[in-house]
């Protein structure tokens, strides 16, 4: 199969469609030929606010295509305050979650991804603003108006996604009505091929009003019974539904080189507009549609007879369907007279018309069909529309589930989407390349890591991964480990497991084998950089051979030892040779690998040959001199170590003078030290409030690569930022679509008619009325308590407000704080500078500064306290610039 430099790979997909909250569920809906329509009872419709007289109308259709829980959102994950989440367009919330899911399924964490990731996204009409926030908008202040605009305008969908996910490529909101999704894909492909970004997150979202039916009117797009019968003689329209879909795109050649999972390949795309050559603004045009399809074929450099399926726009209207087939036929007839070779279908028969997200549903459906080499049915087709001449066209309606037969060339498909207003889009897709043969496993064990914001979320993530591994027993565990390590952000609650295969991992995770599961919480007092315990313990020949073969950093360290020794020592045999030299080499290589993987020790505790290892690691001795020291030599000069070192010789941490004395680095005894040496060191460190990392495995515990991975996992669960690219260096591993972040959603919803809390207060209730000139400290307490209450309202409770917590880091928007400052100015009858929170972003620092300005406190103490709170992002950047200038 040949590829072009202009080919683009779909490497990640995510969706929330009617009846399907995941790509896997969506495929089940398609493969089983299910319709996801929801029928409402009168009671449900009345509760949703539908007037009784409308329910009595025989033309009112009590059905819809909806997705559940649109009022729920994981605001904490995206550092969005409850106050902001409540006014944020639910379309933005759902898109954010889908965007993160798509990136995780592609195996990429933006914080650790080279290059720029762009965002191309569109949203439907914001009915939440119209129905639920309208009263609040009318009663809002100018600042609240601005906040509501930022939270609800379509223009901010893409840029909010870029901000929350730390994506630095172009960020464009794309909107062309029903063709939004495919126009966004087209735009993103051009940006990728033009070098504007290295990956692209592309998608759209649309939410129809919840729990409501619709009014059927003859001649309109709406179906009289809730069914979409695309291309059928009984077709009378479709159902407008809710949904969101996101894909991750990357240039194909780079995706292949990087081991990405490829669902399908975008061979080419085209976009145009009908112009005025049609009967009206909302009417379709044969000429415009035929032209865009033919243009896409030309861009893709394919002939129509190589295309085996077309995912049509397929709204199931008596007028639109014949026009679409006529346009397709006209485009295909430019190079083939064959008939009946190309399947035709419409996902709208399954999930309805998802408006801006409609094209994304069609794209994901078609990509899955190509990936799985299977055709799925287009529903409700029994007899063709009499205005469609299928017999003389290249098309037939695909009505069953069947294998997609192979042809002389690769399987290909087209996807169409046509927007009201005339913007047409067509994309040509091709099946993914065959997966490469897995390389022989270099390691017997792998390190799997999982994390979440809470313990409950971590349990859900653990269960999901266990289930996935049970269902996919043939997965390469190295691929799984690399995807989890490289493609997921590290959250607070963490779990790690060292396993020797997918089955072993699934069992340990499912059964919760605590003796094997490493658990920890990042960012707690118990975490911190470890002290490495070095005793000069050696390794069995098989274990050192595995490490040499499987861990490049270990191998490089052993090679360096071999090069530092006279006589041309064979590197691989060096750590397995026995004796002091082998023990030094092995422990030095293990420690070097951990440092290379991102473990940052607070210091080293060393005994026996481990003292020589510590000397080499800290730069106290050059490697040849450290090796000589391990074998009983005496160095002539020792440099101060770069890290603190506790020496068993002195029984404490070496001072600078002590570190320069060669005797303090000499081993107490010859030969390999016993476990007693490590126990003695740990006794010396008993009063230290730092975790210890013992490099030698316990008796009977796994050794070799399993032990090294366990050491790394122990540090990761404590919060260490492991470099998983280094952990998996030198391996040809693939990224896999694995279970993604377990969102922990809460309800954020403003009911229609609510205006929000009044900000007006009479003079008697203001803080200033409670001030006592004789007791300024009481006034400071009142201001502090008022601010904690206001911040708690934004953050979801007073208990979330720490006096020294940076409010910006907790997700509070600067506009909100300007409004808080304005209210506070009225409360204290004093003009508080509106930008005070920028310079003093904690409650304590802000109050200290304000108290000094108001004359409630005096002296340098207030200024010093305020200055200590200057930890805003702006202040950090200023400090960083000053530091950079000092370094020049």
Q: Tell me the pLDDT band of 668, cut-offs 50, 70 and 90.
A: low
Annotate 243-273 with DSSP letters as a single string. EEEEEEEEEHHHHHHTT---SEEEEEEEEEE
Distance of alpha carbon 70 from alpha carbon 131, whole angstroms? 15
Identify the bridge partners of residue 272 per DSSP, sorted by sequence position: 424
Q: How confident is the model at residue 644, as a pLDDT?
A: 95
CATH 3.30.70.3290 assigned to domain 446-521? The reply is yes
- Among the residue ranges 356-365, 566-575, 809-818, the one predicted with the least confidence is 809-818
SS3 477: helix
SS3 418: strand
SS3 106: helix
Distance of alpha carbon 495 from alpha carbon 102, whole angstroms? 23
Overall average pLDDT of the 726-735 stretch: 93
Domain boundaries defined on the chain: 8-430, 446-521, 531-711, 763-887
Q: How confident is the model at residue 671, as a pLDDT?
A: 41
Average pLDDT, the chain: 90
Q: Which residue did the predictor score with more confidence, 256 or 689?
A: 256
In tens, the pLDDT along 478-525 reads 999 999 999 999 999 999 999 999 999 999 999 988 889 999 999 876
Q: How confident is the model at residue 179, as a pLDDT?
A: 97
The correct CATH number of 531-711 out of 3.40.366.10, 3.30.1330.40, 3.40.50.300, 3.20.20.70 is 3.40.366.10
Q: How confident is the model at residue 673, as a pLDDT?
A: 47
Overall average pLDDT of the 355-362 stretch: 98
In tens, the pLDDT along 375-406 reads 999 999 999 999 999 999 999 999 999 999 99
Q: Tell me the pLDDT band of 666, cut-offs 50, 70 and 90.
A: confident
Burial of 319 (0-12, 13-18, 19+ CB in 10 A): middle
Show Cβ contacts of residue 88 under 8 Å, excluding neighbours closer than 6 positions. Answer: 73, 80, 151, 152, 748
Which of 182, 704, 653, 638 has the alpha carbon at shortest distance from 446? Answer: 704
In tens, the pLDDT along 214-255 reads 999 888 899 999 999 999 999 999 999 999 999 999 999 999
User: What would be the CATH architecture of the domain defined by 8-430?
Assistant: 3-Layer(aba) Sandwich (3.40)
Structure token digits, residue 576: 């397995």
Q: How confident is the model at residue 798, as a pLDDT?
A: 87
- CA 510 from centroid of its chain's CA atoms: 24
Q: How confident is the model at residue 131, as a pLDDT?
A: 92
Domains 446-521 and 531-711 share a fold: no
In tens, the pLDDT along 426-473 reads 999 999 999 887 777 668 899 999 999 999 999 999 999 999 999 999
Q: Tell me the pLDDT band of 650, cut-offs 50, 70 and 90.
A: confident
Angle (CA) 597 598 603, round 5°: 120
Show Cβ contacts of residue 841 under 8 Å, excluding neighbours closer than 6 positions. Answer: 806, 807, 808, 809, 869, 870, 871, 872
Distance of alpha carbon 312 from alpha carbon 304, whole angstroms? 15
In this predicted structure, the answer to whether residue 761 has a pLDDT above a threshold of 70 is no
746 phi and psi angles, rounded to 5 deg = -125, 165
38 phi and psi angles, rounded to 5 deg = -105, 130
Q: How confident is the model at residue 872, as a pLDDT?
A: 42
Q: Tell me the pLDDT band of 878, cut-offs 50, 70 and 90.
A: very low
In this predicted structure, the answer to whether residue 562 has a pLDDT above a threshold of 70 is yes
Q: How confident is the model at residue 772, as a pLDDT?
A: 85
Distance of alpha carbon 19 from alpha carbon 29, whole angstroms? 7
Distance of alpha carbon 37 from alpha carbon 396, whole angstroms? 25
Number of C-beta neighbours around residue 463 at 10 A: 15
Q: Tell me the pLDDT band of 858, cut-offs 50, 70 and 90.
A: low
Angle (CA) 363 365 371, round 5°: 100
In this predicted structure, the answer to whether residue 623 has a pLDDT above a threshold of 50 is yes
109 phi and psi angles, rounded to 5 deg = -105, 115
In this predicted structure, the answer to whether residue 274 has a pLDDT above a threshold of 70 is yes
Q: What would you measure as the largest C-alpha separation in the chain, in angstroms?
A: 100
Show Cβ contacts of residue 392 under 8 Å, excluding neighbours closer than 6 positions. Answer: 339
Q: Tell me the pLDDT band of 793, cut-offs 50, 70 and 90.
A: confident
In this predicted structure, the answer to whether residue 871 has a pLDDT above a threshold of 70 is no
In tens, the pLDDT along 28-79 reads 999 999 999 999 999 999 998 899 999 999 999 999 999 999 999 999 999 9
- CA 712 from centroid of its chain's CA atoms: 23
In tens, the pLDDT along 130-165 reads 999 999 999 888 888 998 999 999 999 999 999 999
Overall average pLDDT of the 190-211 stretch: 96
Q: How confident is the model at residue 449, as a pLDDT?
A: 98
Overall average pLDDT of the 720-726 stretch: 95
Residues 690, 602 contacting (CB under 8 angstroms): yes
Overall average pLDDT of the 316-344 stretch: 96
> What whole-number percentage of the chain has pLDDT above 90?
72
Distance of alpha carbon 254 from alpha carbon 6, whole angstroms? 11
823 phi and psi angles, rounded to 5 deg = -65, -40
Task: Check the CA dihedral 653-657-660-663 and report its sign.
Answer: negative
Class of domain 763-887: mainly alpha
Which of 269, 315, 306, 243 has the alpha carbon at shortest distance from 65? Answer: 243
Angle (CA) 686 691 696, round 5°: 90
């Amino acid at each position: 199969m040949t590829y072009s430099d202009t080919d683009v790979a779909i490497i990640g997909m995510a969706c929330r469609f009617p009846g399907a909250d995941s790509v896997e569920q969506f495929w089940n809906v398609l493969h089983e030929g299910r319709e996801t329509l929801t029928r409402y009872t009168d009671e449900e419709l009345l509760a949703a606010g539908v007037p009784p007289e409308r329910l009595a109308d025989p033309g009112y259709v009590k059905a819809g295509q909806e997705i559940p829980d649109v009022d729920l959102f994981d605001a904490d994950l995206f550092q969005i305050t409850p106050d902001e989440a409540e006014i944020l367009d639910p379309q933005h919330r759902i898109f954010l979650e889908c965007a993160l899911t798509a990136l995780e399924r592609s195996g990429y964490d933006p914080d650790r991804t080279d290059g720029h990731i762009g965002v191309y996204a569109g949203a439907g009409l914001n009915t939440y603003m119209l129905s639920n926030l309208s009263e609040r908008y009318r009663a809002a202040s100018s600042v609240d108006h601005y906040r509501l605009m930022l939270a609800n305008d379509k223009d901010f969908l893409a840029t909010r996604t870029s901000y929350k996910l730390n994506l630095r490529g172009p960020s464009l909101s794309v909107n062309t009505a029903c063709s939004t999704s495919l126009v966004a894909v087209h735009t993103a492909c051009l940006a990728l091929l033009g070098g504007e970004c290295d990956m692209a997150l592309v998608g759209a979202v649309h939410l129809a009003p919840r729990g409501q039916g619709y009014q059927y009117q003859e001649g309109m797009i709406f179906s009289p019974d809730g069914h979409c019968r695309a291309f059928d003689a009984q077709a009378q329209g479709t159902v407008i539904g809710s949904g969101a879909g996101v894909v991750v795109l990357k240039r194909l050649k780079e995706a292949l080189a990087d081991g990405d999972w490829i669902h399908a390949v975008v061979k080419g795309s085209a976009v145009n507009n009908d112009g005025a050559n049609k009967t009206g603004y909302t009417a379709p045009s044969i000429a415009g549609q035929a032209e865009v399809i033919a243009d896409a074929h030309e861009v893709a450099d394919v002939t129509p007879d190589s295309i085996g399926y077309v995912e049509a726009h397929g709204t199931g209207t008596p007028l639109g369907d014949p026009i679409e087939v006529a346009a397709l036929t006209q485009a295909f007839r430019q190079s083939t007279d064959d008939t009946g070779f190309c399947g035709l279908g419409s996902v709208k028969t399954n999930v309805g018309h998802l408006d801006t997200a409609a094209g994304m549903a069609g794209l994901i459906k078609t990509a899955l069909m190509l990936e799985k080499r299977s055709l799925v049915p287009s529903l409700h087709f029994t007899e063709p529309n009499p205005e469609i001449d299928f017999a003389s066209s290249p098309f037939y309606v695909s009505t069953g589930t069947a294998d997609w037969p192979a042809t002389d060339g690769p399987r290909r498909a087209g996807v169409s989407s046509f927007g009201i207003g005339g913007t047409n889009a067509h994309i040509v897709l091709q099946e993914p390349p065959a997966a490469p043969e897995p390389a022989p496993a270099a390691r017997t064990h792998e390190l799997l890591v999982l994390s979440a914001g809470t313990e409950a979320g971590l349990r859900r993530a653990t269960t999901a991964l266990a289930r996935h591994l049970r269902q996919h027993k043939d997965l390469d565990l190295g691929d799984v480990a690399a995807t989890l390590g490289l493609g997921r952000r590290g959250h607070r609650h963490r779990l790690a497991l060292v396993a020797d295969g997918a089955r072993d991992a699934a069992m340990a995770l499912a059964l919760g084998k605590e003796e094997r599961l490493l658990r920890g919480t990042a960012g707690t007092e118990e975490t911190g950089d470890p002290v490495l315990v070095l005793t000069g313990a050696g390794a069995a020949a098989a274990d050192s051979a595995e490490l040499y073969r499987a861990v490049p950093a270990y191998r490089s360290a052993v090679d360096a030892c071999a090069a530092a020794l006279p006589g041309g020592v064979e590197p691989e045999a060096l750590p397995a040779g026995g004796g002091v030299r082998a023990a030094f080499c092995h422990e030095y290589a293990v420690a070097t690998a951990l440092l290379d993987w991102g473990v940052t020790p607070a210091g080293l505790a060393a005994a026996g040959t481990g003292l020589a290892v510590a000397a080499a690691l800290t730069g106290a001795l050059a490697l040849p001199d450290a090796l000589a020291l391990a074998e009983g030599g005496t160095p002539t000069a020792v440099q101060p170590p770069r890290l603190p070192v506790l020496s068993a010789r002195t029984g404490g941490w070496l001072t600078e003078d002590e570190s320069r004395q060669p005797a303090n680095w000499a081993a107490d005894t010859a030969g390999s030290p016993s476990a007693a040496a490590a126990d003695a060191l740990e006794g010396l460190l008993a009063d230290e409030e730092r975790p210890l990392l013992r490099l030698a495995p316990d008796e009977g515990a796994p050794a070799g690569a399993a032990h090294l991975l366990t050491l790394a996992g122990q540090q990761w669960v404590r919060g260490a930022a492991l470099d998983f690219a280094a952990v998996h260096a030198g391996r040809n591993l693939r990224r896999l679509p694995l279970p993604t972040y377990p969102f922990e959603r809460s309800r954020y919803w403003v009911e229609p008619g609510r205006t929000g809390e009044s900000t007006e207060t009479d003079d008697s209730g203001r803080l200033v009325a409670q001030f006592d000139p004789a007791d300024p400290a009481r006034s400071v307490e009142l201001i502090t308590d008022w601010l904690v209450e206001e911040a708690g309202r934004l953050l979801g409770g007073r208990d979330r407000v720490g006096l020294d917590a940076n409010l910006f880091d907790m997700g509070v928007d600067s506009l909100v704080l300007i409004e808080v400052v304005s209210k506070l100015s009225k409360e204290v009858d004093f003009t508080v500078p509106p930008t005070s929170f920028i310079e003093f972003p904690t409650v304590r620092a802000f109050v200290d500064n304000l108290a000094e300005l108001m004359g409630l406190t005096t002296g340098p103490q207030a200024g010093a306290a305020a200055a200590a709170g200057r930890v805003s992002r702006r202040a950090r950047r200023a400090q960083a610039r000053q530091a950079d200038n000092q370094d020049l």
